[in-house]
Structure formats: structure tokens, C-alpha cells
């Protein structure tokens, strides 16, 4: 799935789950000194800001390996979301991608990122979206990696 397609899927999931409309590419000022950043999605009153990433494990020769550059990029997005004023709901949506660690043990990309960086989330939620089934798993500090499942209709508009 192309990144823009995943962003559109994330938008539909968020709108259905949260019951409000989301706009694409909202421009916000973050940090000090402030700098303009275009986030992927935001609701109309800018109380929910979202970054959408269709990242996954390495493929090919390095099948299942950790994509270090993508992890670094995702961490940079986490820092940008943490630079937003307190009180804004901050979400990262990730495409579900699973690798086998030791058969039958497996781990998804979102769970891996959460496991390594959960102490830096500071309230940022990670929503893992299965593009095949519509299942959504939410990770945040308060549920300590307990998965909250909800299925969505993936029919495109």
C-alpha cells in the first residue's frame, strides 16, 4: 500500500472511531524557536493531530530485519508530536506488518516500536491498522501494551 493510500485509510478509520472529520496536511508551529511542520491529519479544531506511516520490516535479503532508518524517522515524528502543546491528542498510525522471531513467536512493527520507545511516548497513542482485515490495535502508556481491538469496514469511498 502506498503511503498516501495508507493516509486515506487512516483518515477513514479515525473519522469512524472518533466521530469527527479530519483534514489533510494541517500546518502547525512547533518547538522553540518555532518551526512550521505539516502533519498528516488533524481534526477541525486541531485537538487531535496524527502522523501516518506505512512502515514495516525489511524485505528481500534482509527479510524481517529492523529498518533502522524508518525507526529513526518514526522517532523523529514522535518528538515532533511531543513538541505540540499539552492537551492535544497525538496519534501515530502504523500499518500492521508482522515478522517471525522464532516460530511460532512473532512481533509486529508497531509493537516493536512501542516496546523500545514506550517511555518516550508521553501520551502519544500508536494505532496499528491491519489493511487486510480492518482490525485496529491501540498501544499507549496507560494500557501498557494491552491491545484494544476494533474492526473497521475498509470499503473505500
Does 81 reside within a domain? yes
Q: Residue 155: its pLDDT value, please?
A: 45
Cα angle 49-54-57, degrees, rounded to a multiple of 5: 130
CATH code of residue 64: 3.40.1350
Looking at the predicted structure, is the pLDDT value of residue 149 above 90? no
Give pLDDT tens digits for 41-92: 999 999 999 999 999 998 876 777 888 999 999 999 999 999 999 899 999 9
Does 156 reside within a domain? no
Q: Is the dihedral of CA 13, 19, 21, 27 positive or negative?
A: negative
Structural domain containing residue 31: 3-151
Does 157 reside within a domain? no
Looking at the predicted structure, is the pLDDT value of residue 20 above 90? yes
Does 44 reside within a domain? yes
Q: Residue 151: its pLDDT value, please?
A: 55
Distance, CA of 60 to CA of 111 (rounded, Å): 22
Does 71 reside within a domain? yes
Q: Where are the beta strands (DSSP E) in the chain?
A: 22-24, 27-30, 35-38, 41-43, 48-53, 89-95, 98-102, 105-108, 125-129, 135-139, 149-151
Does 28 reside within a domain? yes
Does 35 reside within a domain? yes
**What burial letters (b/e) apply to 54-80, b meaning 16+ CB within 10 Å?**
bbbbeeeeeeeeebeebbeebeebbeb
Does 104 reside within a domain? yes
- Least Cα distance to 46 among 90, 78, 12, 5 occurs for 90
Count the domains in the chain.
1
Pairing verdict, β 135-139 and 35-38: unpaired
Looking at the predicted structure, is the pLDDT value of residue 112 above 50? yes
> Model pTM?
0.88
Amino acid at each position: 500500500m502506498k503511503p498516501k493510500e495508507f493516509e486515506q485509510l487512516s483518515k477513514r478509520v479515525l473519522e469512524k472511531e472518533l466521530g469527527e472529520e479530519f483534514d489533510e496536511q494541517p500546518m502547525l508551529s512547533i518547538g522553540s524557536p518555532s518551526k512550521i511542520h505539516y502533519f498528516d491529519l488533524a481534526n477541525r479544531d486541531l485537538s487531535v493531530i496524527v502522523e501516518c506511516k506505512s512502515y514495516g520490516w525489511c524485505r528481500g535479503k534482509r527479510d524481517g530485519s529492523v529498518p533502522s532508518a524508518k525507526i529513526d524517522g518514526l522517532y523523529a515524528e514522535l518528538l515532533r508530536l511531543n513538541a505540540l502543546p499539552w492537551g492535544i491528542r497525538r496519534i501515530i498510525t502504523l500499518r500492521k506488518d508482522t515478522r517471525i522471531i522464532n516460530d511460532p513467536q512473532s512481533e509486529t512493527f508497531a509493537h516493536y516500536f512501542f516496546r523500545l520507545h514506550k517511555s518516550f511516548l508521553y501520551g502519544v497513542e500508536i494505532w496499528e491498522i491491519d489493511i487486510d482485515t480492518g482490525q485496529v490495535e491501540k498501544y499507549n502508556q496507560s494500557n501498557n501494551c494491552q491491545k484494544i481491538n476494533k474492526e473497521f469496514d475498509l470499503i473505500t469511498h
